Structures are given as structure tokens and as C-alpha cells.
């Protein structure tokens, strides 16, 4: 508490006292009327005889919660209260209790108090253990659908508060004069207030309109000659249902009236209330971040809202959270200080502890209008703003959730929305192209250095090697079309000899997909294909081992990466070609004709390399490497120009995967000069190299210029031709 108290002290010494008092009193007046409206709706129907006590519960929760949020929130000027979204969940809990009379009120209040404390404890735990980031993954369409559904339910509730029940049977009676005077002023006030706030965005509009609405109501009653008591008995003014003040509405002795069996039966709805309370915290924090363009500490805000709900609940109140419009008003007034929230809380507390005399001054149409105003805001946010922003499928989910909530309740609406979202997700995932890329060995070869005849063979027969690079999450809905695609080239000609499936970019595979993939691999093996899988994640390897017959799993080639898979398949094609050469001698001469030019260029390069090595011999230092030894990299710091005379060496990345291969005549450049991800060069078999040191190179530049120019020309030609080594 030191930081909030220090902030309060600093505020009293600064020029923010005036703005804080103005913003706090404005927010407090708006909260009082809004919370009275919410409480009147919540404690209506069978609980109408206890509406005043219910107002006391709501006001205390608002007072305690607003005070604590102001002192503990990371947003200076935070104002807390009961959110309309939470109101609908509370109504659903209260409407299903079987008790009657005083027992119904006490049981309802106790159920809501337990829910508030439970929601607060969960929110505190989320904040304390820094788990708030896990709750940001609620689908946007579900969240918007809940907001729209609750907005529609709030508007229907406002009509009920004003004595106009919206049912198919009562719709014709709404146009009667006796009904019009009840609901028309409230609806017009709510819509007018919403339009005015949206157009002018002035923080003075809500409290000023409340004062004017109260004055206008009493002026009309006086003009019609209707005393306050008569207007109250006619249901046009709020009436007190309690003897005495608003506080305390409950005493410890009231616990004997609690129907504990009914409370236990409400456990699922109470759990839903906890979820909705957390959902309200998410929406309020996210909304405040967007409105203020300020990053908030979500864990701190969860902890602040949770502590406020626990204290409010233990005192008989309800779960609370940040109120975005009131908190945003603090910034607009230049009152970004905890004093703003403290003043708002004290304003609510003053009404709470002064008694219910003020309630008799509030017209019912004003209460209904405030509820209509809240409902219009939620409908506009969820339906109007998303009309052009969302795809039609997701917008349809919002409408489905909203309709379900308005007609069948919040729990069913959320359940239907989550189910619809999952179905839409599954459909989209099944339509996603799982093949990231595909190619044959004619288009891309492995990095292994091969002689010209082998390269010519692979150029002509490389289309018999097909590689498919897969991506994303492969599940039962997406694997079917992919397997059908693979099966088609088993039935159509010409059939490939090798099939590579690269899983490097696959994030996961479910068990149904593993089974379907195993069946295809069995069919491909029966057709005589050589199967190679690369980049296989560990769970998929385990799944294939369980699903494939042991003999087939033993024949399945598992390569560490795509390059290793290509090298294996190239060896298969070359081995097949050698068998064909033994059977058809004429093919050897045809092959020689195709590669004669390449062989000639390679021979000329080799002659030039040998001549250079022979002339540079006095200045070259020989180096011998065993298989697996580093030629370049952190473990082999070679200074100078290193030329590979015999053997093969591979340039590898940090994980040990081969990127390309060096052969005789290639300069082995230090790995840090390549800029291609190579970190080391390792001998594949015993290698012999020669090194021209820096001092000898400088001497040659000064005394044997023609010779060193020949060497540079050779190295430059090697680099320009496509090195890292091109073959």
C-alpha cells in the first residue's frame, strides 16, 4: 500500500486535487445511478420485495471494490464497479433458486457472495502466479458474441424494469397508452444518452443528463398533479422495501435462513459466474489498454480486481472489476491519480450509509434508461464495429451466440459459441494446404559432391524422386485429402521410385492422422516405393513405430533432414542406373555423350588446380585430417588459404546438419566468412589439404605477382561459379 499512499500524498501536494475531485464525483454519481439500476433489475420478480436490500449489497460491493481498485491498480485513476456482463450471470443464478420469501433473498445473496469470493481468490491466484497471459486466448468471436448477447439481454431487462414484458403475447399491448408512458421515456433517454456520448465524448454528459432526467421526471409529476407517493405506488418512482437504511442488508443471524441444498445445487452456475467474472476482468483490462494506448500489467490488474472482489464479497457485496468509461474519464480530466477512484468510492459509500431516502427521488424510467444505455454500448461494440471487420462466418457465430444468450441464457450461449468456433476452426484447418512445397531431384539435389556422370543421371531421372515438405498441424480432417493426393500417383504413371515426406515445419500430428499416414506408407511400400521421412518430431516417430508393422518400420528410412533424404534417394536412383548399364551397354555411350562437355571442363579445372599446387609447393604447408576431424571452425582455426587436395568434407550448421560438401580442388573457406549458416567444416573421410599462410601470401604478392594472380583468379572463378562449392 505504500505506493498508492505515496501517490495520494503527492496528489494532495500537486495541482491534481481539483481534477481528481471533479472526475471522482462525476464517476461516483454515474456509478450510484448505474448500480442502483443494475440492483433493481437483479432483485426484481420474486425478489422485488427485497430490492432495497439488494441495492445495499450492490452499493457496498461497488464502494469496497472501487476503493481497493483505486489503491492497488497499476492504472492511476482507476474506477471499479459491477459490470453489466456479470449482471446477467448473476440474474441467471438468482432465477433458478427454488426458495421463496426471505429465504430466497438470503440464499440468493449468500450464493452471490460465495461466487464473488471464489472469483476473487481465483483472480488473485492468477495474478500472484503470473498466469494472466494464459487467459488472453479466448476466441474473439466468442467474446464478442457474449458481449452482444448480454447487451441484448440487458435491453430486454430494461423493458421489464419499466413494466413492459417482451413476449409474443404482450407485444400488441406495448403500443397502448398505459404502456407507452412507462417504457418510451426510458428507451428514448437511453438511446439519446448513447448517441450524445458517442458524438461529443464529453465526460459531463452522463452526470448532467442524470440530473436533468430526475428533474424532468419530477416536473412532469408536478405538472400532472401526481404526488410522489402516488407516482411511487404507480411504479414510476423507486420505492424502499426495507425498514431503515441500506446497510447492513444482511446479519449473521440470517444464515439460518440459507437453503444449503439450493446453494449446493447452484455449484455449476456459481462456477460459470466465476468464469464470467474473470472474463469481465479480461475485457476491462484489454478495453482500457486500447482506449488509453497504454500497456498495463495484466497480472497486477487481476490481483487488484481479485482482492477487491474478495473484500466486497466478505462484506456482502458482489464481484467487481475496472469500469473502462469511468477510468478513461480520469485521463480526460487530467486526474490520473488514485484520488479519483477514492473520491468515486466515497461518493458511493455516502449514498450507501446515508440511507435509502435518495432512492425515492429516482424515476424508474431513468433506471431503465441507464440499463438501455449500457446495452446499446455492448451491442454497438459487438455487432456494428465487427460488421466490416470480421469474415461472415465469424460474424455469424457472434449472432448465434447473441441469439442463444438472449433466448436461453449465458451458459448455453457460451457453450453453443465454443462449439461453433471449434467446428469453424476444424473446417478451416482441414482446408489449409498442408503441402508447403514439393519438388523432384531434377529441380533440387543434395549437397553431396558427385561426379559429372552421376549428375547427368540425376538430371535425367531425378523426376523419379518426389519430395513433399509438409507444414502446420496435421489432424484427422486434413490428412484425408493429403493421403488421397498421394494415392493418386500410386495408381497413375509413371510411378516414382522414391518418396520423401519432410516434417520439419509440422507442429504436431494427432493419432487419427498417424493411423491414416501409416496406412498410406504400407500401401506405398507394397507398390515398391522407397520411403524416406525427414525432420520427424519425436511424437510422430513413436506413433509410426506403434502403428507400422515391424518389418515395414525397419524398411522406413528416417533422415535427420531433407538433404540427407535426398542423398539416400539419389543413391537409390544411381544404383538402379548401374543395374541398367550392366543390361544395356548402349546406354554407357549415350551417357558419355551427354556428360563429355562437363567432364572436359572438370578435367581442365583439375589440371589447372594441380599446376597451381605444384608451382606453389615451396610455400604450401600440407595438412592431413582424419574422418570426423574439423578443417575449419571453432575447433580448427586455420590462418591462410586452405585448398582441399583429396577427400570430401562437409560444411555443417550449429546442429551438425550438412549444408554443402567440398571436394578436391575446392578452397575450404573459414566458416565465419561464408555468411550462409555454416559454423564448421568436417572431414567425411580422410582428407589431405594444403595451406598458404598470410606471410607467404604477402611475399608472393611482392615477388611472384603473376603466380599469386593466377591463384586469386582460380579462387574468384570458384566463388563466382556458385560456391559454396558448386558441382
**Is there a single domain that holds both residue 78 and residue 184?**
yes
* Residue of 619, 678, 672 lying closest to 643 (CA atoms): 619
**Is there a single domain that holds both residue 685 and residue 706?**
yes
- Which pLDDT tens digit goes with each residue over 595-629? 566 666 777 788 888 888 889 999 999 999 999 89
* Residue of 24, 672, 95, 709 lying closest to 340 (CA atoms): 24
Identify which has the larger pLDDT, 633 or 704: 704
pLDDT value of residue 688 = 92
**111 in a domain, yes or no?**
yes
Residue 248 preceded by cis peptide, ω within 30: yes
Among 539-543, 557-561, 629-633, 652-656, where is mean pLDDT lowest?
Answer: 652-656
**Is there a single domain that holds both residue 486 and residue 446?**
yes
Crossing angle for the helix pair 84-95 and 364-379, to the nearest 10 degrees: 110
Last residue in a domain, options 556, 583, 610? 583
Query: In the chain, what is the straight-line distance between the N-terminal and C-terminal CA atoms, in Å?
Result: 72
Query: pLDDT confidence of 525, banded at 50, 70, 90?
Result: confident
For residue 136, pLDDT over 70 is answered with no
**Mean pLDDT value across the chain:** 81
Last residue in a domain, options 422, 447, 462? 422
**Is there a single domain that holds both residue 84 and residue 180?**
yes
CB-based contact 310:69 (threshold 8 Å): no
**Is there a single domain that holds both residue 554 and residue 682?**
no
pLDDT value of residue 384 = 87
Rounded Cα distance, 468 and 194, in Å: 57
For residue 230, pLDDT over 60 is answered with yes
**Is there a single domain that holds both residue 629 and residue 516?**
no
pLDDT value of residue 145 = 83
pLDDT value of residue 723 = 45
pLDDT value of residue 303 = 94
**430 in a domain, yes or no?**
no
Output the domain CATH number for residue 569: 3.30.750.24
Q: pTM here? A: 0.62
- Which pLDDT tens digit goes with each residue over 693-711? 889 888 998 888 888 898 8
pLDDT value of residue 588 = 54
Structure-derived torsion over alpha carbons of residues 463, 466, 471, 476, reported in degrees to the nearest 10 = 130
**Is there a single domain that holds both residue 165 and residue 300?**
yes
Domain region containing 324:
17-223+232-237+258-422
**Is there a single domain that holds both residue 329 and residue 369?**
yes
**428 in a domain, yes or no?**
no
Give the pLDDT mean for 106-123.
Answer: 91
DSSP string, 450-486: --HHHHHHHHHHGGGEEEEEEEEEE-HHHHHHHHHHH
**Is there a single domain that holds both residue 460 and residue 314?**
no
pLDDT value of residue 675 = 53
**Is there a single domain that holds both residue 193 and residue 334?**
yes
Give the pLDDT mean for 548-568.
Answer: 89
**377 in a domain, yes or no?**
yes
Query: pLDDT confidence of 287, banded at 50, 70, 90?
Result: low
Query: pLDDT confidence of 673, banded at 50, 70, 90?
Result: very low
- Which pLDDT tens digit goes with each residue over 78-111? 999 887 767 777 877 777 788 788 888 888 888 8
**Is there a single domain that holds both residue 539 and residue 616?**
no
Rounded Cα distance, 166 and 161, in Å: 11
**247 in a domain, yes or no?**
no
Query: pLDDT confidence of 191, banded at 50, 70, 90?
Result: very high
CB-based contact 186:410 (threshold 8 Å): no
Identify which has the larger pLDDT, 425 or 384: 384
CB-based contact 368:236 (threshold 8 Å): no
pLDDT value of residue 122 = 94
**Is there a single domain that holds both residue 148 and residue 108?**
yes
For residue 493, pLDDT over 80 is answered with no
DSSP string, 382-447: IIITTTTTS-HHHHHHHHHHHHHHHHH-HHHHHHHHHHHHHHHHHHHHHHS--EEEEEETTT---S
Question: Which H or E element spans position 29?
Answer: helix 17-42
CB-based contact 436:467 (threshold 8 Å): no
Give the pLDDT mean for 535-542.
Answer: 86
pLDDT value of residue 8 = 54
Query: pLDDT confidence of 727, banded at 50, 70, 90?
Result: very low
**727 in a domain, yes or no?**
no
CB-based contact 323:284 (threshold 8 Å): yes
Residues contacting residue 476 through CB under 8 Å, at least 6 positions apart: 510, 512, 513, 516
CB-based contact 103:356 (threshold 8 Å): no
Rounded Cα distance, 404 and 411, in Å: 9
Among 135-139, 285-289, 455-459, 531-535, where is mean pLDDT lowest?
Answer: 135-139
For residue 13, pLDDT over 50 is answered with no
Last residue in a domain, options 531, 560, 583? 583
**375 in a domain, yes or no?**
yes
pLDDT value of residue 726 = 40
Please enumerate, as own/partner, the contacts of 199-204 that have beta carbons within 8 Å and a separation of 24 or more: 203/23, 203/26, 203/329, 203/332, 203/333, 204/26
For residue 18, pLDDT over 80 is answered with no
Q: What percent of the chain has pLDDT over 70?
A: 87
Rounded Cα distance, 670 and 189, in Å: 78
Give the pLDDT mean for 157-176.
Answer: 76
Query: pLDDT confidence of 651, banded at 50, 70, 90?
Result: confident
Rounded Cα distance, 475 and 489, in Å: 22
Domain count, the chain: 3
Output the domain CATH number for residue 637: 2.60.120.10
pLDDT value of residue 407 = 81
CB-based contact 493:526 (threshold 8 Å): no
CB-based contact 303:127 (threshold 8 Å): yes
DSSP string, 66-134: HHHHHHH-SSTT--EE--HHHHHHHHHHHHT----HHHHHHHHHHHHHHHHHHHHHHHHHHHHTT-GGG
- Which pLDDT tens digit goes with each residue over 251-272? 777 878 888 888 888 888 888 8
Question: Which H or E element spans position 324?
Answer: helix 324-332
Identify which has the larger pLDDT, 335 or 676: 335
CB-based contact 55:247 (threshold 8 Å): no
CB-based contact 20:340 (threshold 8 Å): yes
pLDDT value of residue 69 = 94
Please enumerate, as own/partner, the contacts of 378-381 that have beta carbons within 8 Å and a separation of 24 or more: 378/84, 378/85, 378/147, 378/148, 378/150, 378/151, 378/154, 379/148, 379/151, 379/152, 379/155, 380/194, 380/198, 381/144, 381/147, 381/151
Classified as helix, coil or strand, 283 is helix
Q: What percent of the chain has pLDDT over 90?
A: 13
pLDDT value of residue 150 = 75
**272 in a domain, yes or no?**
yes
Amino acid at each position: 500500500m505504500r505506493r498508492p499512499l505515496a501517490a495520494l500524498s503527492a496528489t494532495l501536494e500537486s495541482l491534481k486535487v481539483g481534477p481528481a475531485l471533479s472526475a471522482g464525483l462525476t464517476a461516483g454519481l454515474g456509478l450510484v445511478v448505474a448500480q442502483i439500476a443494475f440492483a433493481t433489475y437483479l432483485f426484481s420478480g420474486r425478489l422485488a420485495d427485497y430490492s432495497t436490500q439488494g441495492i445495499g449489497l450492490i452499493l457496498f460491493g461497488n464502494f469496497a471494490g472501487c476503493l481497493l481498485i483505486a489503491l492497488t491498480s497499476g492504472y492511476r485513476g482507476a474506477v471499479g464497479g459491477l459490470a453489466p456482463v456479470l449482471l446477467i450471470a448473476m440474474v441467471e443464478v438468482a432465477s433458478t433458486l427454488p426458495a421463496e420469501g426471505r429465504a430466497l433473498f438470503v440464499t440468493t445473496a449468500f450464493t452471490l457472495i460465495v461466487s464473488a469470493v471464489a472469483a476473487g481468490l481465483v483472480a488473485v491466484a492468477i495474478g500472484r502466479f503470473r498466469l494472466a497471459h494464459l487467459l488472453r486466448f479466448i476466441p474473439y468471436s466468442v467474446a464478442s458474441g457474449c458481449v452482444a448477447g448480454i447487451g441484448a439481454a440487458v435491453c430486454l431487462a430494461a423493458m421489464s424494469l419499466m413494466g413492459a414484458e417482451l413476449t409474443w403475447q404482450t407485444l400488441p399491448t406495448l403500443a397502448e397508452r398505459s404502456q407507452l408512458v412507462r417504457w418510451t421515456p426510458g428507451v428514448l433517454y437511453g438511446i439519446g444518452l448513447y448517441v450524445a456520448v458517442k458524438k461529443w465524448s464529453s465526460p459531463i454528459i452522463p452526470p448532467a443528463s442524470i440530473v436533468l432526467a430526475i428533474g424532468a421526471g419530477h416536473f412532469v409529476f408536478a405538472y400532472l398533479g401526481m404526488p410522489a407517493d402516488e407516482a411511487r405506488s404507480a411504479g414510476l418512482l423507486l420505492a424502499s422495501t426495507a425498514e431503515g437504511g441500506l446497510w447492513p442488508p444482511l446479519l449473521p443471524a440470517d444464515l439460518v435462513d440459507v437453503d444449503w441444498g439450493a446453494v449446493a445445487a447452484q455449484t455449476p452456475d456459481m462456477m460459470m459466474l466465476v468464469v464470467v467474472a474473470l472474463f469481465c476482468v479480461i475485457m476491462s483490462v484489454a478495453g482500457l489498454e486500447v482506449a488509453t494506448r497504454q500497456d498495463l500489467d495484466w497480472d497486477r490488474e487481476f490481483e487488484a480486481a481479485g482482492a477487491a472482489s474478495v473484500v466486497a464479497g466478505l462484506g456482502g457485496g458482489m464481484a467487481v472489476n475496472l469500469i473502462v468509461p469511468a477510468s478513461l474519464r480520469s485521463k480526460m480530466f487530467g486526474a490520473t491519480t488514485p484520488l479519483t477512484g477514492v473520491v468515486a468510492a466515497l461518493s458511493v459509500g455516502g449514498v450507501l450509509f446515508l440511507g435509502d431516502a435518495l432512492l425515492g427521488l429516482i424515476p424508474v424510467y431513468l433506471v431503465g434508461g441507464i440499463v438501455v444505455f449500457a446495452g446499446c454500448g455492448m451491442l454497438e461494440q459487438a455487432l456494428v464495429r465487427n460488421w466490416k471487420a470480421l469474415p461472415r462466418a465469424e460474424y455469424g457465430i457472434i449472432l448465434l451466440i447473441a441469439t442463444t444468450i438472449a433466448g436461453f441464457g449465458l451458459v448455453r450461449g457460451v457453450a453453443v459459441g465454443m462449439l461453433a468456433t471449434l467446428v469453424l476452426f476444424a473446417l478451416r484447418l482441414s482446408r489449409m494446404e498442408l503441402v508447403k512445397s514439393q519438388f523432384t531431384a531434377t529441380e533440387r539435389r543434395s549437397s553431396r559432391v558427385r561426379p559429372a556422370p552421376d549428375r547427368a543421371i540425376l538430371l535425367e531421372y531425378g523426376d523419379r524422386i518426389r519430395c513433399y515438405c509438409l507444414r502446420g498441424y496435421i489432424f484427422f480432417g486434413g490428412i484425408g485429402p493429403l493421403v488421397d493426393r498421394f494415392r493418386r500417383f500410386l495408381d497413375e504413371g509413371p510411378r516414382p521410385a522414391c518418396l520423401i515426406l519432410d516434417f520439419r515445419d509440422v507442429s504436431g500430428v494427432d493419432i487419427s492422422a498417424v493411423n491414416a499416414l501409416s496406412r498410406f506408407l504400407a500401401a506405398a511400400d507394397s507398390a515398391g516405393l522407397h520411403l524416406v521421412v525427414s525432420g520427424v518430431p519425436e511424437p510422430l516417430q513413436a506413433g509410426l513405430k506403434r502403428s507400422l508393422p515391424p518389418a515395414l518400420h525397419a524398411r522406413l528410412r528416417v533422415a535427420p533432414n531433407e538433404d540427407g533424404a535426398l542423398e539416400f534417394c539419389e543413391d537409390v536412383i544411381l544404383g538402379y542406373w548401374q543395374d541398367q548399364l550392366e543390361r544395356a551397354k548402349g546406354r554407357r555411350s549415350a551417357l558419355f555423350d551427354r556428360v563429355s562437355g562437363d567432364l572436359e571442363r572438370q578435367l581442365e579445372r583439375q589440371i589447372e588446380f594441380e599446376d597451381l599446387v605444384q608451382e606453389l609447393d615451396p610455400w604450401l604447408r600440407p595438412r592431413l585430417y582424419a574422418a570426423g576431424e574439423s578443417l575449419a571452425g571453432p575447433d580448427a582455426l586455420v590462418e591462410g588459404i586452405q585448398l582441399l587436395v583429396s577427400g570430401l568434407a562437409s560444411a555443417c550448421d550449429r546442429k551438425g546438419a550438412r549444408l554443402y560438401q567440398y571436394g578436391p580442388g575446392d578452397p575450404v573457406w573459414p566458416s565465419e566468412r561464408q555468411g550462409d549458416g555454416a559454423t564448421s567444416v568436417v572431414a567425411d573421410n580422410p582428407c589431405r589439404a594444403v595451406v598458404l599462410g598470410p606471410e607467404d601470401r604477402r611475399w608472393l604478392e611482392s615477388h611472384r605477382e603473376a603466380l599469386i594472380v593466377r591463384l586469386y583468379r582460380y579462387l574468384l572463378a570458384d566463388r563466382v561459379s556458385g560456391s559454396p562449392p558448386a558441382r
